Amino acid sequence: MFDSFVAAFATGKKVTPQRRALLVDFSKKNGIRFNNISLLDLAFHHRSFSNEAGGKLHRYNNERLEFLGDAVLGMATATYLYEDMLEKPEGDLAKIKSVVVSEMTLAPIAVAIGVDTCLVLGKGEELSGGRSKKAILADALEAVIGAYYLDAGYPAAEKLVLKLIVPEIKKVQENRHQKDYKTLLQEFYQKHSKSCPVYELVKRTGPDHDRTFWVSVKLGNDAYGPAQGKSKKAAEQAAAAIAWETLNKK
């Protein structure tokens, strides 16, 4: 299965005995096993490596595996939410999914399972702190999922995803680890702009003891909201949620 992919990419770089030992140790610690360790090796190679290496290795990076892993992650998470939360409407399921598959959630998981120790970066990226960058960590985790899917099939990959993601879903459900939409939005926006989201109080209604606040958020020339809340902070969170969900549907 996927022999052409493996032949084209996974055999493009020899895995040294020392590197193999590191990858096998990573696999054992996380309860998985690779028949083709070269796929796992590829999952940890960032684009900065292939850009610097050039030649036959100019495409030896994890971006295609990340693309595949993102789809597997999304499918496994969505299926779990659909089957586990029968009483929840689509909107609630989408909100939970957007949080637990976000960079903010995936990056700490990646560190917890040892992804950072296996990364292979270009010299420039390494010097700039790439090993601790959330985007690189989250992308590499998705690439590992994609590699495991190719190597072991969907049921095994789904099992790995749920092992990693279900605890995060439970935290959201129990309101013990709610994600901050303002932080999520700021992270997302600052990937594409040097500016920060700007929150604007549109109006206040009701008596002093029962005020309702209406807030909109501006991202450059685009405005989202207004959204309401019983406090200014709650209204800002609601506006950030609208912007976050809108941007993630594009």
Q: Is 139 a known ligand-binding residue?
A: yes
CA atoms within 13 Å, Cβ hemisphere of 24: 8
Question: For the chain, where are the alpha helices, taking DSSP H only?
Answer: 3-5, 17-29, 37-43, 47-53, 63-84, 90-100, 103-112, 115-118, 123-127, 134-152, 154-173, 181-192, 232-248
Q: Among the options 41, 70, 116, 158, which is catalytic?
A: 70
Kindly compute the dihedral angle of the four CA atoms of residues 71, 77, 78, 79, in this order, to the nearest 10 degrees.
110
Please tell me whether 66 is known to bind a ligand: yes
Which is catalytic among the residues 116, 125, 142, 158? 142
Q: How far is CA 78 from the centre of its chain?
A: 14
C-alpha 222/C-alpha 160 separation (Å) is 39
Residue 70 catalytic? yes
Task: Tell me whether residue 142 is one of the annotated catalytic residues.
Answer: yes
Q: Determine whether the annotation assigns residue 142 to a binding site.
A: yes
**Which residues carry out catalysis?**
70, 142
Residues annotated within a binding site? 66, 139, 142
